[in-house]
Amino acid sequence: MNIILLEAVECQEDPVVLIGRRAEHIVKILKCEKGDWIRAGIINGRMGMAEIIDVRRKYPFQVVVNTHFDTSPPAKNPIDFVLALPRPIMLRRILSQAASLGVGTLHIVNANRVEKSFWESSIIEEGLFREHLLQGLEQAQDTVVPEIVLHRRFKVFIEDFLPCIISRYRYRLFAHPRSSRGLGTFFTAAEGGRVLAAVGPEGGWVDYEIQKFEEHGLHGFSLGPRIMKVDTAVINIHGRLMAEVERLHENL
């Protein structure tokens, strides 16, 4: 936990009283004392420092802080993802990793090879995204929660929703192991812009889904001959895309 995140409602009064997981982390992991300063921020708001003015070091842990928020959060990367809904345990990892990497929006879609039971999992039915996103923000020292958009019907997403947002993106791509093109072949001109990258389920996109992506201006790319798990593919793709984006920025 590299930043302590506070709800806006908690910051309506100063000092702020922290209990639970955050207080335990400050006491047991950071081993802070009265008078120490720690990095803190308001969820979806500014960030800065907090001064510890009181500590209860025994269970139930409690830490009282005065806050000083004077810094804007880091900008999000210009990369958004379309993600075929993976198994719940993998989705939890991806949410945390996406938030840590600075992804702005994650569109979670249905696909032919997505198990129907995945949509009935607690993380979907009860909307338990936030805790995993916050863990990623805590790691990355960020405060802005990525947007998560659920699309339970692929056809509605591809035919009705995608056309409304596609103009936001200069580069529109989908991962497809049988594609003959690598990621780098799409970034040959010194032209910046946002990127939308679609990552399929275990087993990949079916022909119908590939056809629909192509009809709506997305281009298939391959990561090479190795077949990766979805969470590994997301991190790999993000890293490669950021390398291309930074290279283009240097040439502008």
The token pair that represents 44 in the structure block = 């979806």
Q: Which H/E stretch holds residue 169?
A: strand 169-175
* Residues contacting 70, CB < 8 A, separation 6+: 46, 48
**Domain spans, the chain:** 4-71, 79-251
Buried b (16+ CB within 10 A) or exposed e, 198-221: bbbbeebbeeebbebbeeeebebb
pLDDT in tens, the chain (252 residues): 899 999 999 988 889 999 999 999 999 999 999 999 999 999 999 999 999 999 999 999 999 999 999 999 999 999 999 999 999 999 999 999 999 999 999 999 999 999 999 999 989 877 789 999 999 999 999 999 999 999 999 999 999 999 999 999 999 999 998 888 888 888 876 677 899 999 999 889 999 999 999 999 999 999 888 888 999 999 999 999 999 888 877 765
**pTM for the full model?**
0.92
Q: Where are the beta strands (DSSP E) in 26-168?
A: 37-42, 47-56, 62-71, 79-84, 105-109, 147-151
Fold of 4-71: Ribosomal Protein L25; Chain P (2.40.240)
Rounded CA gap, 167 and 211, in Å? 19
Fold of 79-251: Alpha/beta knot (3.40.1280)
Alpha helices in the chain (DSSP H): 20-24, 88-101, 122-125, 130-140, 154-156, 162-165, 207-215, 230-251
* Residues contacting 173, CB < 8 A, separation 6+: 183, 186, 195, 196, 197, 198, 218, 219, 220, 221
